Amino acid sequence: MFDIKLGDQGEIIMTGRFDASQAERAQAFLDDVARPRMVDLAGLDYISSAGLAVLLRVQKRLIPSGKGLKLVNVNPHIRDIFKFSGFDQIFEVEAAGKG
Amino acid sequence: MDERTFPRRFASLAEIFRFTAEFFVREAIGQQHRFAVDFAIEELFTNMVKYNPGNPDGIRIALERREGEVQVRLTDSSAEPFDVTAAPEADTRGTVEERPIGKLGLHLVKKLVDDIGYRHENGASTVTFIKKLE
């Protein structure tokens, strides 16, 4: 079960499992995000390369206008995925339990 | 060994993840190993879906608990040869503007699993990978 929504502070909240079957829905949601935002991944258990592609598309759109997405509360498995894919160099990433 | 065939569509992923979850519980394998196994299965399965849409057959997935490891095998009954083990390394450097969309799946699979093999026999493509339970 995957969910994506806006939180009370304007942050994006993703929960559950972000697999290829959810990419279209997530992309449609994020295409409406017009400015840099924090993305809270505390409840996100899983992401595949299809999810990474969605995040990268948004980052490519936002970065030219300044800052992009900041990914926070990232669990260790997903942090490894960000590291192995080099996403830790193109996104601001904050591990779970920080801040 | 647990073996099942799944319809060739992305929507099968939820059922596939239930299949692996049940296998891990039944075999008393730590849930910390599931991320890598699910990730590798998803990337290999969705590649078979994307690049061989004309095959009406489902894709067979077999899970086997062995000494200190899990072996997973995905079989596409009728497919052109595509050796996933020979896929080029993804370039994970560069700026946001320079980074291509995609091309990361097999690169990440190789990072997460301990061994991966490919064979094409009698028209069928089979990918086998090992995840050590340490």
Within an 8 Å CB–CB cutoff, is residue A63 touching chain B?
yes
B residues 16..35 contacting A (CB < 8 A): 17, 35
Average pLDDT, chain A: 94
pTM: 0.96
Within an 8 Å CB–CB cutoff, is residue A89 touching chain B?
yes
Q: Which chain A residues touch B93 with a CB distance below 8 Å?
A: 86, 89
Within an 8 Å CB–CB cutoff, is residue A53 touching chain B?
yes
A12-60 residue pLDDT tens: 999 999 999 999 999 999 999 988 899 999 999 999 999 999 999 999 9
- What's the rounded Cα separation, in Å, for the pair B65 and B5? 18
The residues of chain B scoring below 70 in pLDDT are none
Contact A49, B104 (CB under 8 A): yes
- A34 exposure class (CB count in 10 Å sphere: 0-12, 13-18, 19+): exposed
Looking at residue A23, what is its pLDDT? Answer: 97
